[in-house]
Structure 1
Amino acid sequence: MTGLTTHILDTASGKPASGVKIQLYKLCPQNVPENEKNGTINNPLSTAEKTHLAGEKTQSVVKKLLVETKSNQDGRTEKPLLDEKAMENGQYELHFFTAAYFLNEGAKLDTPPFLDEITISFSIADNTAHYHVPLLVSPWSYSTYRGS
């Protein structure tokens, strides 16, 4: 199966995390005009991040929102975040809005919460493969891995 999927497990309760808002972004490198290379432009990424993504400091990165959804009762999405037609090689970010979930579950969180929005940056190098990005999360920690 080709595509991108995710699921969220609440490690504090030992159950799937349902109702978590999820956003998927693609990071799209764009050339920076010669006259703006040394100036500040509307760029959400640091120089180090631009260098990592583009291999040089002369590119800007624009985040393109591809999907916004919520996790279901199994902690998964109803359909793949990307199906085989939408799979493209490149840099991506998954944003999980976990503080709202934990507050809804009755957790006592600091103000502001220690983990409000979790961002996982990853790459798709083979657009014919299946990529699964699980999130194991509590109010105080999280982990992820490339699943199957």
Structure 2
Amino acid sequence: MTTLSTHVLDASTGTPAAGVGLLLTGADGAELARASTDADGRARFGPDLAPGTFRLAFATGEFFAAAQREAFYPEVVVAFTVTADREHLHVPLLLSPFAYSTYRGS
């Protein structure tokens, strides 16, 4: 089984993105967990993930709206594959109002 974490950084301010809503779903769209990033822009998910495809949705529009900042993407959804050989996956998001990037972290 594999655990999951994320870290969201607001590249436009150079600070952690605190309070970003997160939704983890399975390939079938079933909700597995909800969370939000802490003051350091981080979140961990409790359920262990079996091998398969999952989606992690970041509520980026709500994050920027709360800060009264215009943004282009109302949400960012990252689909990823869990394999049996990984104990932990880290899915970071580098965010700005008009762009984002992600990668498989360590």
Structure 2, unmatched stretches of 5+, are none
1:65 matched residue in structure 2: 31
Q: CA deviation at 1:100?
A: 1.1
| Cα deviation digits, residues 96-130 of structure 1 (max 9, x gap) | 001111121231x2xxx520011001100126421
1:8 aligned partner, one-letter code: V
Normalising by structure 1, report the TM-score: 0.66
Which stretches in structure 1 are left out of the alignment for 5+ residues? 28-61
Choose which of 130, 133, 136 in structure 1 pairs with 2:88.
130
Q: Which has the higher strand share?
A: 2
Q: Deviations over 1:68-92 (max 9, x none)?
A: 1111100012xx2145xx2200000
Question: Partner amino acid for 1:81?
Answer: F
User: 1:81 is matched with which residue?
Assistant: 45
Residue 16 in structure 1 maps to residue 12 in structure 2: no
**d(CA) in 1 for partners of 2:46, 2:102:** 18
Task: State the secondary structure of the residue aligned to 1:67.
Answer: strand
Deviation at 1:140, TM superposition (A): 0.3
- The 5 Å alignment of 1:1-148 reads 2-27=2-27, 62-77=28-43, 80-83=44-47, 86-107=48-69, 109=70, 113-126=71-84, 128-148=86-106
1:17 is displaced (CA, Å) by 0.3
* Distance in 1 between residues matched to 2:103 and 2:72, nearest whole Å: 21
Question: How many Å separate the matches in 2 of 1:127 and 1:5?
Answer: 17
Identical aligned residues as a percent: 37
Report if aligned partners of 1:23, 1:96 keep a CA contact under 8 Å in 2.
Answer: yes
CA radius of gyration, larger in? 1
Distance 1:114 1:63 in 2: 24
Runs (4 or more) in structure 1 with deviation over 3 Å come to none
The TM-score normalised by the length of structure 2 is 0.91
Contact 1:9 1:137 in 2 (8 A): yes
Query: What number of residue pairs does the alignment pair up?
Result: 105
Counterpart of 1:147 in structure 2: which amino acid? G
